[in-house]
Amino acid sequence: MSNCNKLGIGLAGFGTVGSGVWNTIEKNGELISDRTANGVSLRITKILVRDPAKTRATTSAVPTEILTTDWRELVNDPSVDIVVELIGGTTDAFEIIAAALLAKKPVVTGNKALLAERGIELFAISRKMETPIFFEAAIAGGIPIVKIVQDSFVGNRIHSFTGIINGTSNYILEQMTLRGIDYTTALGEAQALGYAEADPALDVNGWDAAHKAILLATLAYGFPIDPKNIHVSGIEQVRPTDIKFAKSLGYVIKLLAIVREHESGSVELRIQPSFISQKHILASVHGVFNAVSVNADAAGESLFYGRGAGQGPTASSVVADLVEAARDLAHATRHRGFLPYRETGNLVPIAETTTAYYVRFDVTDRPGTIAEIATVLAKHAIGISGTHSPVNPDNPDAEFLDMVFLLHSCPFGKLTAALTEIESLNCVNSTPVVFRIENLG
């Protein structure tokens, strides 16, 4: 390690966030030094890039001699004390982080997919080498939710997290709600504005939020979670019809992450578009903003709100972790970035989770259709609170239409069994679309 007051940073990845980290350190380096007990000076001494000749939007010129295309050169550089991984993915990023930990160099990363899918391996290396991984930037952008859970709520039993933790989906749903546009149009606009990637799959299919929720659950409940064991659905099937119907009932549709500990100690974890009351505070989370509501036994209900992505907010979290890593190098008395306290734990099977539901059926309009569907639901002891068949004013005599059923609370497994049977009816033309109706209090 170099002089503990002057720490060299190896930056693996120099895209939007990496450039933001450079700009933040250049702009606020003196302020950071003034605010830290030891006057820590952070200096980026090596940067991993794909193309050294590429022009980048930085506030000051980047010396070409610190650029490299070989991650091994970055990790092994003696001037690098802390490694920041910002390249994404789960292959090269894994190798970089593992090599840095084995070299006893603390790691800062924003790679939620890697930590959710291969974190068990990396945290094992972290424990063995007594070298921390910090990952504030992996969850909710500029909201310091990791430090809140690890530090501020260390004396609390956390009952639940309820969050909007993907800004792209939130923006798309809001535009559909405000302007009555369809999903494809809203997605295209989000891409044009840079809120969605050219390949938006992880944002819109729910898995970006799922990776973040897995990390939150692991922090709070202390055991590793296999992504294969959680229920994830995205916003691709949301239609203007659903938005209008939700509004008429006093709801809005949001992509929610639900993490909840049951009395048994098992943890419920699911991601899905949900109806929530227009009066609930999460209904007021607009645009690309994120919000996480935390319910803890001592602290009670707390809400954390802010920008969930973007250069500035994410870079802010990375730099905060760099300062934390610098303090750890100086004192080696703080937390190791992740503290699992249980080797195993149990997830609540998705079939056992219970809510009310909104179900949309694509049906052939003929006498007896409602009765056929209702008969199957009754057979499975699922109550109906209402039905609706919106008429298309442009084609009032259409043979095919959407039929909506509002269903009382029941286990999801019971609903799934009923819907499988309903889907085989001659009057039903495709797989029913299900949204949960959440009672968030």
> Could you tell me what percentage of the chain is helix, strand and coil, using 3-state DSSP and rounding each to the nearest 5?
40, 25, 35
Q: What is the pLDDT of residue 301?
A: 94
Q: Identify the residue with better confidence: 4 or 147.
A: 147
Q: Identify the residue with better confidence: 243 or 39.
A: 243
CA angle 38, 44, 48 (to 5 degrees): 145
Confidence label for 397 from pLDDT (cuts 50, 70 and 90): low
- In this structure, are residues 269 and 230 in contact, taking their beta carbons and an 8 Å threshold? yes
Tell the residue number behind the tokens 């009057």, with chain if given.
Answer: 427
Q: Identify the residue with better confidence: 243 or 337.
A: 243
The answer on pLDDT for 305 being more than 90 is yes
244 tagged catalytic: no
Tens digit of each residue's pLDDT (9 = 90 or more) over 249-270: 999 999 999 999 999 999 999 9
Complete domains list, the chain, with CATH: 6-141+311-331 (3.40.50.720), 146-307 (3.30.360.10), 350-437 (3.30.70.260)
- In this structure, are residues 241 and 391 in contact, taking their beta carbons and an 8 Å threshold? no
SS (H, E, C) 359-372: EEEEEECCCCHHHH
Tens digit of each residue's pLDDT (9 = 90 or more) over 61-114: 899 999 999 999 999 999 999 999 999 999 999 999 999 999 999 999 999 999
Q: If you average pLDDT over residues 279-284, what whole number do you get?
A: 95
DSSP string, 25-59: HHHHHHHHHHHSTT--EEEEEEEE-S-TT-----S
The answer on pLDDT for 1 being more than 80 is no
Q: Identify the residue with better confidence: 35 or 93.
A: 93
Confidence label for 321 from pLDDT (cuts 50, 70 and 90): very high
Residue 430, CA distances (Å) to 322, 360, 362, 414 in order = 51, 10, 6, 19
pTM: 0.91
Confidence label for 334 from pLDDT (cuts 50, 70 and 90): low
Phi and psi at 388, nearest 5°, equal -155, 140
**Active site residue: 105, 112, 212, 254, which one?**
212
The answer on pLDDT for 197 being more than 90 is no
Token readout for 437 is 């109706």
Tell the residue number behind the tokens 């190798």, with chain if given.
Answer: 95
Buried b (16+ CB within 10 A) or exposed e, 319-349: bbbbbbbbbbbbeeeeebbbebeeeebebbe
Provide the residue count of the chain: 441
CA angle 11, 90, 348 (to 5 degrees): 125
Q: pLDDT > 70: what percent of the chain?
A: 94
Q: How far apart are CA 137 and CA 146, in angstroms?
A: 9
Which ranges of 148-294 does DSSP label H, i.e. alpha helix? Answer: 167-179, 183-192, 201-204, 207-221, 240-248
* Average pLDDT score, the chain: 91
Q: What is the pLDDT of residue 398?
A: 58
Tell the residue number behind the tokens 């509004």, with chain if given.
Answer: 247
